[in-house]
C-alpha cells in the first residue's frame, strides 16, 4: 500500500523539492499555513496547536520542514515557530497515533565547529562525503552558530524526548545548505564543501522515512561530496580533476 506522507512547510524550497520528487511514490499531504496547489493541504499554523486538531489522523509518517530559516537571531519569531511549533506538531502526532517523524535539522546545530571543519577541508580538498560526515559526527556535541541553530538543537531534543516517552521513531537530518539553483554558494569559497545537492536531499529523506519503520532515534548528517562548478548559470560546469562524485554521493542518511 502507498504510504500517506505529511510534509510540513511544503510551500518552501525544501518542501517543493520533495513534492516534485516524491509524488509518484507516496500519497502526499501538506501541512501548511497556505494551500499547496495540487496537494491535499491541512491548513494549520504550528504556532497555534488548536489549528491542527485531529487533522493528522490516518497519516503514516511526517517530514517536518516548516521553520523560520534565517539566522538573524529573531527570537520573537524563531522560538514560537521553530521550537514551540515542533513541540505542537509532535504532540498533535501523538494524539493522532502517528509515531514516525523525520525532522529537518541543520548543520547550524553544530555550526560552531565550522572553523575546524574548514581547516580540515583546506588540508584535504577532496574529502568524500563519508569522510566529512565522520569528522562532523566526531564533533557530535551541539555547538550552534545562531539562535536558528539553537532552535534545531531544541528540535532534536524534543524528538529524543518523544522517542523515549512516547515510543516514537524519529530520524533527525542535519542538513547542509540546499541551494535553490543546486550550485555552490558563489559568495562562499568553501560552499561546495558543505552543501547538499537536491538529489542527495531527496535520497536522504527517502532513506530516513524508510528507517522510521523501526522504533528508535537516529541523528544523521546529510552532506554532498565536494565538487566545483565555476560555470555561469546555463553553462556547462566542470568538476575539478580528481573530484569524482558518484551519483547519490551523500552519505549516512
Q: What is the pLDDT of residues 144-190, one digit of tens each?
A: 999 999 999 999 999 999 999 999 999 999 999 999 999 888 887 77
Task: Give the pLDDT confidence score for residue 237 in this predicted structure.
Answer: 40
The number of residues in the chain equals: 253
Catalytically annotated residue among 26, 103, 117, 148: 148
Residues 6+ apart with CB under 8 A from 38: 19
Q: Which three cell numbers stand for residue 102?
A: 523525520
Q: Which of 41, 50, 28, 156 is nearest to 104 (CA)?
A: 156
Q: Is residue 11 part of a domain?
A: yes
Task: List 63's β-bridge partners, or say none.
Answer: 7, 102
252, part of any domain: no
Residue 9 has pLDDT above 60, yes or no: yes
pLDDT in tens, 207-247: 999 999 999 999 999 999 876 544 444 544 433 333 333 34
Q: CA torsion angle for 132, 135, 140, 143 (degrees, to 10)?
A: -80
Structural domain contains residue 125: yes
CA distance linking residue 222 with residue 129, whole number of Å: 8
Establish if 82 belongs to a structural domain. yes
pLDDT at 253: 38
- 27: in domain: yes
Q: In the numeric block, which cell numbers belong to residue 99? A: 509515531
User: What's the pLDDT at 1?
Assistant: 80
User: For position 80, which CATH number holds?
Assistant: 3.40.50.720
Q: Is residue 251 part of a domain?
A: no
Residue among 233, 139, 135, 243 at smallest CA distance from 182: 233
User: What is residue 227's predicted lDDT score, i.e. its pLDDT?
Assistant: 63
Q: What pLDDT is recorded for position 213?
A: 95
- Write out the residue range of the structural domain in which residue 202 sits: 4-222
Residue 62 — pLDDT band, cuts 50, 70, 90?
A: very high
Is residue 175 a contact partner of residue 196, using CB atoms and an 8 Å limit?
yes
The count of domains in the chain is 1
- Percent helix / strand / coil, the chain, rounded to 5: 40, 15, 45
Closest CA to 135 of 110, 103, 153, 100: 110
220 Cβ contact partners less than 8 Å away, ≥ 6 residues apart: 171, 172, 173, 174, 204, 208, 252, 253
Q: Is 119 exposed, middle or buried (0-12, 13-18, 19+ CB in 10 A)?
A: exposed
Please name the helix (run of DSSP H) or strand (run of DSSP E) that holds residue 220, with its range, or none: strand 216-222
CA triplet 221, 206, 137: central angle to 5 degrees?
Answer: 10
Whether 208 and 214 have beta carbons less than 8 Å apart is answered as no
How high is the mean pLDDT of the chain? 87
Residue 246 lies in a domain: no
- 68 counts as catalytic: no
Residue 75 lies in a domain: yes
Amino acid at each position: 500500500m502507498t504510504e500517506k506522507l505529511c510534509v510540513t512547510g511544503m510551500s518552501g524550497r525544501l518542501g517543493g523539492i520533495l513534492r516534485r520528487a516524491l509524488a509518484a511514490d507516496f500519497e502526499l499531504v501538506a501541512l501548511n499555513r497556505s494551500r499547496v496547489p495540487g496537494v491535499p493541504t491541512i491548513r494549520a499554523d504550528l504556532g497555534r496547536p488548536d489549528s491542527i486538531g485531529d487533522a493528522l489522523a490516518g497519516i503514516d509518517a511526517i517530514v517536518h520542514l516548516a521553520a523560520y530559516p534565517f539566522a538573524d537571531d529573531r527570537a520573537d519569531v524563531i522560538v514560537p515557530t521553530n521550537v514551540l511549533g515542533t513541540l505542537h506538531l509532535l504532540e498533535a502526532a501523538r494524539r493522532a497515533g502517528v509515531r514516525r517523524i523525520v525532522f529537518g535539522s541543520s548543520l547550524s546545530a553544530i555550526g560552531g565547529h565550522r572553523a575546524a571543519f574548514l581547516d580540515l577541508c583546506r588540508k584535504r580538498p577532496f574529502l568524500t562525503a563519508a569522510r566529512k560526515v565522520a569528522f562532523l559526527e566526531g564533533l557530535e556535541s551541539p555547538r550552534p552558530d545562531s539562535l536558528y541553530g539553537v532552535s534545531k538543537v531544541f528540535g532534536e531534543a524534543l524528538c529524543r524526548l518523544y522517542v523515549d516517552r512516547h515510543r516514537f521513531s524519529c530520524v533527525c537530518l542535519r542538513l547542509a545548505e540546499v541551494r535553490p539553483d543546486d550550485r555552490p554558494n558563489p559568495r562562499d569559497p568553501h560552499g561546495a564543501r558543505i552543501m547538499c545537492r537536491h538529489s542527495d536531499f531527496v535520497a536522504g529523506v527517502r532513506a530516513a522515512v524508510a528507517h522510521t519503520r523501526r522504533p528508535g532515534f537516529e541523528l544523521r548528517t546529510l552532506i554532498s561530496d565536494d565538487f566545483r562548478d565555476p560555470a555561469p548559470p546555463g553553462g556547462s560546469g566542470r568538476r575539478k580533476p580528481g573530484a569524482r562524485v558518484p551519483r547519490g554521493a551523500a552519505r549516512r542518511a
